[in-house]
């Protein structure tokens, strides 16, 4: 039997010269996670991830077309392949579908690493940090040229 696959986002936004990550709690164990879920019928993997961000966290934004981070999470003893896409948040809605089932927080990437208990999610943060540092470096090099 094939392993289950979930698609999600690492949502981030700019606050002045700082970048923040947005996380939500899982519905069952109240652990900090990224919005994620199974592929939505009729939608691409990336559009499914965007849909999860809207439903679970009230976020709208743009996914990087080239980057994706893979990891494995374990839920109830079952291994699940996780594909995360970096999503720059354009809008955080005040009301969203699952707002009464989840909490949402905007925090620094370093603090996110500390509050996440799932190893697969933490791995996603580390991969996002490497990607983000690379993007910042490329932008700085372009500016200097």
Q: Report residue 53 as tokens.
A: 């961000």
pTM: 0.92
pLDDT at 46 (0 to 100): 96
DSSP 3: P
Q: What is the C-alpha separation between 103 and 64, in angstroms, rounded?
A: 25
| pLDDT less than 70: residues of the chain | 1, 145
Nearest to 82 by CA among 94, 70, 68: 70
pLDDT at 75 (0 to 100): 83
pLDDT in tens, 50-89: 999 999 999 999 999 889 999 999 888 889 999 999 999 9
């Amino acid at each position: 039997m094939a392993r289950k696959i979930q698609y999600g986002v690492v949502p981030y936004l700019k606050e002045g010269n700082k970048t923040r990550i947005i996380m939500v709690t899982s519905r069952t164990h109240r652990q900090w996670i990224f919005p994620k879920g199974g592929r939505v019928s009729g939608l691409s993997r990336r559009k499914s991830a965007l849909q999860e961000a809207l439903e679970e966290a009230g976020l709208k934004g743009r996914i990087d077309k080239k980057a994706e981070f893979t990891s494995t999470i374990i839920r109830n003893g079952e291994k699940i392949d996780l594909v995360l896409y970096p999503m720059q948040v354009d809008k955080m809605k005040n009301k969203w579908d699952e707002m009464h089932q989840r909490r949402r927080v905007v925090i620094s990437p370093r603090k996110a690493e500390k509050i996440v208990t799932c190893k697969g999610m933490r791995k996603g943060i580390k991969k996002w940090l490497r990607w983000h540092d690379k993007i910042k470096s490329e932008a700085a090099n372009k500016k200097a040229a």
